[in-house]
Copies of this chain bind each other. A is one copy, B any other.
Amino acid sequence: MGDTAEAITLSVVTTEPVSRQERKQRTRQALLDAALDLVAERGFSGLSLREVAKQAGIVPTAFYRHFASMDELGVALVEESMRTLRTMIRSARTKPAAYNDMIKTSVRILREHVRAHEDHFHFLTRERYGGTGPVRQAIAFELKLFVSELAVDLARFDNLREWSTEDLHLLADLIVTTMLTTVLELLEAPSRDDEIGRTAERRLRLIFLGVPNWRSVP
């Protein structure tokens, strides 16, 4: 297996007339998609400019019309993936959920979004620590922002109204870490979604059990 389906990314040919910049952006997206495809099996650092170009259906040198280096493409991939993550959190935010039901709802939304965008989540969780240089930094940066956003969200809950920013951040961090662990489990076990989801609920439940008794100490 390996050299059967190539350049499939662009092969959904649209015969309509398109402007030049539109076509360019389409190729750019093909490059991103190609990289996302390949990254799943071999890690971002283990993939070459040439094969990404080939998979996208262009010649290696044309790659440079879109990115100065693979690292630059990687950062673009981080941004794209983080957009997916934010979409998810927005989805969770708009659902008006009771306090206890909230955990169940959140985990369900997580499961749905992970399944709908496996490659994005795969990329993020895999390269979060494994990646090198710019990609890893970009993820760290974005994830830090993300935790801060979640902390603000948490502040709205009755039980947490009086918590300090620092404590909220701690809680948000713990939640995000737990969520990302769950994401990894979901991606690794193809079919045990239910069980993993229940474990995730229990983990979060344990964390939130401590909340009423929390007393911030210097």
Q: Which residues of A contact B (CB under 8 A)?
A: 41-43, 45-46, 125-132, 140, 170-171, 173-174, 177-178, 181, 184, 188, 199, 202-203, 205-211, 213-214, 217
Contact = CB atoms under 8 A, between A and B. Distances in A.
13 contacts: A41-B132, A42-B132, A43-B130, A45-B45, A45-B46, A126-B129, A129-B184, A130-B130, A170-B202, A177-B177, A208-B210, A209-B210, A209-B213
Q: Which of A126, A129, A140, A181 has the most CB of B within 10 A?
A: A129
Contact of A209 (B125, B128, B178, B209): B209
A132 B174 contact: no
A202 B211 CA distance: 12
B214 A206 contact: yes
A46 B47 CA distance: 9
Nearest to A130: B130
A131 B130 contact: yes
Contacts of A171: 206
Contacts of A41: 132
Given A42-B132, A130-B127, A209 B202 contact: no
Contacts of A208: 210
A139 B210 CA distance: 31
| 3 nearest A-B residue pairs (beta carbon) | A130-B130, A209-B210, A210-B210
A74 B121 CA distance: 25
Nearest to A132: B43
B209 A214 contact: yes
Contacts of A42: 45, 132
A175 to B, nearest CB: 11
